[in-house]
Structure 1
Amino acid sequence: MIRHFSQITRAAGVFSLGAAFLVGTPVLRAQAAPELEFHSGSAGGSFLPYAQAASQVITESGVASVEAVESGGSNANLAAIEESDTVLATVFLGSANAAANGTGAFDGTPTMNTRALFPMYMTSFQIAARVDAGIGAFMDLDGRRVGAGPAGGPAENYLTALAEVVGISPVIVNASSAEHVDQMVAGEIEALWQGASVPVPAIVASAEQTDAIVFGLTDDEIEAMLDLFPFMAPTEVAPGVYPGQSDPIHSVAAWNFVMTSSEMSDELAYQITSAVLSRDDLEEVLPLLALTRAENAVSNRIIQFHPGAIRYYEEVGVALP
Structure 2
Amino acid sequence: MKPIRTVKTVVREIAPAGDGIALVHLADPDDWELPAFEAGSHIDLHLPNGLVRSYSLCGSPAERRRYLVAIKREEAGRGGSIAAHALRRGDVVPVSLPRGTFRLATRAREHVFIAGGIGVTPFVAMAGQLARDPGANDAEREDFTLHVLHRGAPPLAALCEAQLPPATVVYHRSGEGRPRADLAALIGPYRQGRHVYCCGPDALMQAVEALTREWPADHVHIEHFVPPARPVDPDAKPYRAELALSRQTIDVQPHESLLHALRAHGVEVDAACEGGICGACRVRWSGGEPVHHDRVLTDAQRAHEVIVCVSGCASERLVLEL
The TM-score normalised by the length of structure 2 is: 0.29
Give 1 or 2: higher helix fraction. 1
Give 1 or 2: higher strand fraction. 2
RCO higher in 1 or 2 (8 Å CA, sep ≥ 6)? 1
The TM-score normalised by the length of structure 1 is: 0.29
